Structures are given as structure tokens and as C-alpha cells.
Amino acid sequence: MALFARRNYISLMTSCSLRETEYAKSNGFVIIKGRIEKDKTDESIIIRRSFECHHGRIRKSKKKKKINSSLIRCIFLIRDQNGQSGIIGWITYKIFIWPFYISPLRKFPGPPSESSLYGNLKTLMTEESGVPQLRWIKKYGNVIKYHGLFNNPILLIADTKLVQEITLNKAYDFIKPLNASGISLIGRGLIYAEGDDHKRQRKLSNPAFTYSVVKEMVPSFVHIGSTLKGLIEEKLNSGETNINLTPYISKATLDVIGLVGFNYEFNSLTSQNELAIAYDSIFNNPVTTLRIVLNLLSNYVPSIMTFLFAGHETTSISTCWALYSLAQHPHEQDLLREELVKAFPDKSKFNPTYDEINSLEYLNCIVKESLRLNSPASNIRRINLKDKVLGNYFIPKNTEISLSISTIHKLPEIWGPTADDFDPKRWLDPSLVNNISNLNYLPFYNGPRNCIGSEVALTEFKILLGILIRNFVFKPIEGFHIRKRAFPAPKPDPYLGLAVSIVES
């Protein structure tokens, strides 16, 4: 088999004879075995690799990826007569040859690529967040490979030993993939800082999240929660019972960040604050001139934007999904309300301290279970800076890795046969709790790159949820379906719509 072209040479030759080799040399190609090399004289490129071929077509077999036992040598020749590299050949190599026949990752099990353009991304984008990953892990094992854009191999990991290596033992050897839009959005704050820069920023930020500082934030959480309660009551008093809660919770958590982070009242719940509108335009609205300008300006205040984004999104998403789960499980909602009524008999005087809100056992169980099933960050992406051997696996440097937090949180071998179910009582079972660690329960990640504001988020989450459940009953709206959006964050889609009624004193 041989294919030649007079322009932009792309030649594919199998079982190369001496005559064919001399022909290639006479036309400016450099014949190299096992690597890519450029001829300095005429900018030619030649790639030589081995792979399976049958009747002139490269194919995978259903058994061992072999059509027959004959292994033939293939020379992939590229030349541009104008002195430019062969783009078509490079694309062919990267999309069709490298992922399936050369990359060390080809040996990992996983789902077949669905498209040469988008690999398996269509499935990840169209199905609910976390569903494809869990299906693949259950089918192929806890370390698998799937294909990203242009068939780029990506490792999906749900193995706790490898989680320990990546998050704890060698945390700074695994960096976040370049995210130009994310960096332009919130700057190089803690979220995108790496190495020594991250260590420096983390050290500077630690004093803002101590136990004593978080305790002082509680009155602000209660104040905003009470404002949120009042607005929902107004809706109900006007005769509206089916309520879209997403904007209310989102604005409430933004107002909290304004107060505790900057001592600034956004008042987004009660007024059209300019800063709140600008923030909303960055994270929720379509691209506009304002959004572009704000993206650029955000590079000058990375720490502020990091704090806004991480703090606001984490609590907003968590509170929405907790309300959804409790609406789907009315008995669990009733048990939580009973605990709250016992602790705060007069709902008009719901003003807990830090210690009081954290002493509520069933509230803690609800929060942990909700974060298990609906972690704000369901997948953590990393790239290894060096060649790595993790367990029995060789992972070449610059491999994209996805730690599937949502999958780890649903593995039956960790959580039992009811792993997919919302069951807060599991957190009261000592036999389960004793086996839970920061390697198999990671709602706020782990290690030196864990969420620095996790205690702030948890306390705010508990207080907002406590105020809402103490004052209202939440039920599903008949015929209204809510799914978990996969991108850009695992939010309720199209929104959190619930039937709401007031809890009578």
C-alpha cells in the first residue's frame, strides 16, 4: 500500500522496500525509526511507527485489537514543497494514529471514541453531570481512559490510592490545565495559582479562615437568611406557591460574600445593585461588551474574584441540591424539621451560634449526604508535569487527568448497595463512618489544594438550610423535571422550582 502526492506530500507505505526507502530519501524525506525528526535542509517531516493493518486499512479488532497476526511497519511521510510542515499529516497523526496506536494510554480500558472531532465529549455534555463517568467506571474499572477533543486521551481516576498520590503525596506535580477563560474571569488567585505562587497565596489567606473568624461570620449568615425567608413569605402571601428558588439562593449567597468578605452590602436580594448585576453578567449572562471588560479588569483583583466565585458558587449549588433532595424525600425533611423545632421552638428567634448550628446531628447528616451526592466540584482536572508511575500504571507527562469525585462518592464498595440513594442516616452508622476518609469523601477536595473556605461554606450552608426548613415545607412541582447540568457547573437545570408552603407555628 502506498499513497503519494506531488503537493504537500503525504505518503503512507507499508512493508517498505529498499526501492521505496530510496525514493523517499531522493524526495527530501529523512527516514527515522521510532521518533519524529525534521530535516534542516528542506523542512521535511517524517514519522515512523508500527501498527496493525489489514487490506490497506487501519482497524481495531473486537478481540485483541488485531485483524491478523502480521505486524507491518508504516512510514508516515509529510512534506510541503513551500517549506511549511504538513498540517494535514500532523492532524491525521494526532487524531487517528497517536491516540490508538502509539500513546501509552492506549492500553487503558475505556469507552470507544464516538467521534474524531469530539471523542466522548458529546456524551459528557448531554447526559446529566456524573452519569457517564459512573457508568464507565463500573464497566471498565477504577482507572480508565476516554477521549476528549480531537481524540485526546484523558485518564478518569476513581482509585483512592491514586487519589492520595495526586492530592497529597505529589500535589504540586499535578497542575490544573490551562484555562484561559477561567483565568481571565477570576485571575490567578488561589484557584489557578501553581507551585510556590500557590503556597504563598495560601499562607497569606489562611488567617482569614480561622475558627474565630468563621464564628464572627455567623450573624451575617443569619441576617441574610432572614431576608431570604421574608422574600419567600411575600411570594406565598401573594398567592404564588410554585417558586423558582435559584435566583433567590444565588443572590443570598452573593450577599453573604459581600458582608463577610468585604464588609460591603450588595443587597442583591432586595435591590438592583450595580456590582451584583456586573457579577451576574460575568457568570450567568451571555457574552457582552461589559462581560469582556470585567473579565479583563478581574485580572487586577484575582484574590477578590477567587473569593467571590468560589464562595458564592459552592454554597449556592449545595443549598439548591439539598432542598431538591429534601423535597424528594419528605420523611427526611420532616426529621430535620423536628430537630430544628426542638432546638429553636420559636422560629421568629432563629439566631444560632456557630456551636449551636454545628451541634445539630441530623442537620450535619443532611449536609454530608447532600455534598456526597452533589459535590460542587464533581470532577477535578489535572496535568502531570513529569512522567509518573502510579500503582501499576505508567502515565507520561502532560497527560490530562480527571479525578471523578462524583464517582468516588457513589462507589458501592465504599458506600454499600444504597450508594446511589439519598440516605442521611448512613452517617449515623459507625461501620460506615469508620471507613470514610479524605481519600473517599472529597466534597472540598483534599491536601494542600483543598478549599480554603470549606468551613465558611459549611457553616453558611447549614444556617441557610436551617432557616428555610424551619420556616417552609418544600415539595416537587408535579410534571416539572429537574436534571443536573454538566457544564459549566453542576446546577439544577433549568432551575430549582419547588412547591413551597409555610410551616405553621
Q: For position 144, what pLDDT does the model report?
A: 95
Position 283 confidence tier, pLDDT thresholds 50, 70, 90: low
Residue 291 has pLDDT above 70, yes or no: no
N-to-C CA span, the chain: 84
Q: Before 494, cis peptide (omega within 30)?
A: yes
Q: For position 98, what pLDDT does the model report?
A: 83
Higher pLDDT, 190 or 469: 469
Per residue in 348-360, pLDDT (tens digit) is: 889 999 999 999 9
In this structure, is the dihedral angle defined by the CA atoms of residues 345, 350, 353 and 354, taken in order, positive or negative?
A: positive
Q: For position 185, what pLDDT does the model report?
A: 47
d(CA 26, CA 12): 16
* DSSP, res 304: H
Mean pLDDT on 236-262: 92
- Distance between alpha carbon 431 and the CA centroid of its chain, in Å? 30
d(CA 455, CA 443): 12
d(CA 428, CA 374): 19
Per residue in 366-421, pLDDT (tens digit) is: 999 999 999 888 899 999 999 988 777 888 999 999 999 999 999 999 999 999 99
d(CA 405, CA 442): 7
Residue 479 has pLDDT above 70, yes or no: yes
Higher pLDDT, 148 or 310: 148
Q: Say how many C-beta atoms besides its own lie within 10 A of residue 194's C-beta.
A: 14
Sheet holding 174-175, edge to edge: 143-147, 153-157, 400-404, 379-384, 174-175
The grid coordinates of residue 70 equal: 502480521
Residue 137 has pLDDT above 60, yes or no: yes
Domains annotated on the chain, with CATH: 219-377+444-502 (1.10.630.10)
d(CA 204, CA 187): 17
Residue 10 has pLDDT above 80, yes or no: no
Q: Before 443, cis peptide (omega within 30)?
A: no
Q: For position 280, what pLDDT does the model report?
A: 64
Give the residue from 158, 120, 122 showing the smallest Cα distance to 138: 158
The DSSP string of 240-251 is --EEE-HHHHHH
Q: What is the mean pLDDT of the chain?
A: 78
Per residue in 16-73, pLDDT (tens digit) is: 444 445 544 454 444 333 333 333 333 333 333 333 333 333 333 344 333 222 222 3
Q: Are 502 and 233 in contact (CB under 8 A)?
A: yes
Give the residue from 403, 397, 186, 223 showing the smallest Cα distance to 300: 186
Mean pLDDT on 221-250: 96
The grid coordinates of residue 311 equal: 464562595
Q: For position 282, what pLDDT does the model report?
A: 58
Mean pLDDT on 136-143: 95
Q: Are 76 and 49 in contact (CB under 8 A)?
A: yes
Q: Say how many C-beta atoms besides its own lie within 10 A of residue 250's C-beta.
A: 27
Per residue in 200-216, pLDDT (tens digit) is: 888 887 887 888 999 99
pTM for the full predicted model: 0.77
Q: For position 485, what pLDDT does the model report?
A: 86
Q: Before 302, cis peptide (omega within 30)?
A: no
Q: Which residues contact 395 (CB under 8 A, 6 or more apart)?
A: 104, 105, 155, 384, 387, 388, 389, 401
Q: Which residues contact 363 (CB under 8 A, 6 or more apart)?
A: 336, 339, 340, 357, 462, 465, 466
Determine the Cα angle at 134 with ends 129 and 139, to 5°: 145
> For residue 260, which amino acid is it?
V
